């Protein structure tokens, strides 16, 4: 708390960044958090709340009145207002409704408009504040208008001027750096016609999947993208900071799914909820483990006759599981980044099989020699070497093909892939190793 007070005392309000304040608040315990929150300037409280983890956002809501929450929302840009009200609604619907009623009509309309979009649509992430002009406006007048709006804090973080028709249909997008080298005494259209630059905008449609918009930002190295309706009407813009948040959320979601946990449940402080979600995947894993145990049970007599097999058996399954996970992780990530096209399945599977087979031969030689000398059984080395090659080959094949298949049937490739893959590598590993041992050694 003292650190926060020192930070506030040493900075003017205009210099303070919400992320810095949030970083300090995250380090405080529950007893001092409430007191420290009162030190945060009211104009920044909304941005600070959004920069905090969900569990601390709850604490912010509990410590603010309806009027204070309403003021916090008013100070935010439209996309952040939408996000704030969404989180507030999830915590307390009644408080969210009370806050919404206290907002002015314009803020209510903007929030309602953004709430009309589905979670995966580009419109849900756009900012409604845009700087626009008509093509026949003189550049000098446009710049003067921009300066006035900026001084009045009507617009923030502007990178582009969007040129529209009188009915708001988007025509061009001009970077502010280009605008400054235009002839100030000519109209925008005259400058555009006399320029060698390309001003036709790359646009996102408001009903377009946000994942596609993320790929546009990555592919074209964009900092901002205008959002239009199906009729080409400019409705907002998406900025790179929102895209970074989406990328981080998606990456986190995939990591959780690969581990068989639910991302929303893990962000919740309720232990029972998170435990229940994890238990569902652990239950599936239990049954797949039983399936692998059934394979082992088929060769109970073989294991009783040669203890060495029981000692070496986990090595084959473990190596197959790790090799498969490597292939799985690479393919899932490439799918998420859009680096794999629809016709790439054969190329990807062939590559992963080749890598796994190469590693299979390499480690088969090593473990074959070790096993032969360790137990002084020459053919035991051959058995485990062949089993290693078979299992790593299957690990590479299924590690690549499982996520590709799930993607093909419109299921998130990360969900359940690890459980399926582990089952396959365990079953193939145990069956190939014990089956070869039965055939060759006994």
Residue 68 is encoded by which pair of tokens?
């204070």
186-210 in b/e form (b: 16+ CB < 10 A) is ebbebbbeeeeeebebebbbbebeb
pLDDT in tens, 239-270: 988 888 888 887 777 777 666 666 665 566 56
Measure CA of the first residue to CA of the last residue in the chain; give whole Å: 73
**Residue 284: pLDDT over 50:** yes
Query: For residue 133, what are the β-bridge partners?
Result: 163
Q: In a 3-state reduction of DSSP, which class is residue 415?
A: coil
pLDDT at 183: 95
CA distance 439 to 433: 10
**Residue 123: pLDDT over 90:** yes
**Residue 27: pLDDT over 90:** no
The domains located in the chain, with CATH, are 2-116 (1.25.60.10), 132-242 (3.10.580.10), 263-440 (1.10.357.20)
Per-residue DSSP letter, 187: B
Q: What is the mean pLDDT of the chain?
A: 87
Sign of CA dihedral 207, 212, 216, 222: positive
CA distance 176 to 168: 20
Residue 252's nearest CA partner among 336, 177, 184, 135 is 336
Share of the chain above pLDDT 90, in %: 52
CA distance 5 to 258: 42
User: CA torsion 410→415→417→423, rounded to 10°?
Assistant: -130
Residue 152 is encoded by which pair of tokens?
């009045």
pLDDT at 398: 94
**Residue 420: pLDDT over 50:** yes
Residue written as token pair 């314009």: 106
- Residues 364-377, mean pLDDT to the nearest whole number: 93
- pTM listed for this prediction: 0.72
């Amino acid at each position: 708390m003292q650190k926060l007070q020192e930070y506030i005392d040493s900075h003017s309000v205009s210099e303070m960044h919400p992320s810095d304040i949030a970083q300090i608040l995250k380090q405080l315990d529950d007893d001092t958090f409430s007191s420290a929150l009162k030190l945060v300037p009211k104009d920044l409280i909304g941005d600070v709340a959004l920069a905090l983890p969900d569990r601390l956002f709850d604490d912010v809501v509990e410590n603010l009145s309806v009027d204070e929450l309403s003021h916090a929302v008013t100070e935010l840009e439209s996309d952040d207002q939408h996000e704030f009200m969404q989180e507030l609604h999830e915590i307390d619907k009644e408080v969210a409704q009370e806050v919404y009623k206290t907002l002015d009509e314009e803020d209510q309309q903007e929030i309602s408009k953004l709430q009309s979009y589905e979670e995966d649509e580009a419109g849900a992430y756009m900012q409604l504040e845009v700087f626009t002009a008509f093509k026949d406006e003189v550049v000098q007048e446009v710049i003067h208008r921009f300066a006035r709006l900026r001084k009045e804090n009507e617009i923030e973080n502007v990178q582009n001027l969007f040129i529209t028709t009188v009915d708001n249909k988007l025509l061009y997008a001009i970077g502010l750096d280009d605008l400054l080298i235009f002839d100030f005494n000519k109209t925008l259209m005259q400058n555009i016609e006399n320029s060698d630059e390309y001003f036709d905008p790359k646009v996102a449609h408001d009903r377009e999947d946000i994942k596609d918009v993320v790929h546009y930002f990555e592919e074209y190295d964009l900092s901002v993208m205008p959002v239009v309706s199906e009729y080409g009407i400019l409705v907002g813009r998406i900025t790179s900071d929102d895209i970074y948040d989406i990328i981080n959320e998606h990456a986190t979601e995939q990591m959780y799914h690969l581990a068989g946990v639910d991302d929303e449940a893990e962000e919740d402080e309720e232990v029972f909820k998170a435990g229940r979600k994890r238990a569902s995947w652990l239950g599936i894993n239990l049954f797949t483990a039983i399936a692998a145990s059934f394979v082992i049970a088929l060769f109970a007599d073989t294991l009783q006759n040669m203890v060495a097999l029981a000692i070496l058996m986990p090595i084959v399954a473990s190596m197959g599981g790790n090799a498969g996970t490597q292939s799985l992780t690479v393919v899932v990530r490439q799918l998420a980044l859009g680096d794999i096209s629809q016709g790439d399945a054969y190329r990807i599977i062939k590559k992963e099989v080749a890598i796994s087979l190469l590693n299979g031969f390499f480690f088969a030689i090593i473990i074959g020699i070790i096993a032969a000398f360790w137990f002084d059984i020459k053919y035991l080395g051959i058995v485990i070497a062949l089993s290693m090659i078979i299992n790593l080959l299957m690990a590479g094949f299924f590690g690549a093909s499982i996520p590709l298949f799930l993607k093909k049937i419109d299921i998130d490739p990360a969900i359940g892939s690890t459980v399926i893959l582990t089952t396959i590598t365990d079953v193939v590993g145990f069956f190939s190793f014990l089956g070869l041992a039965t055939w060759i050694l006994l």
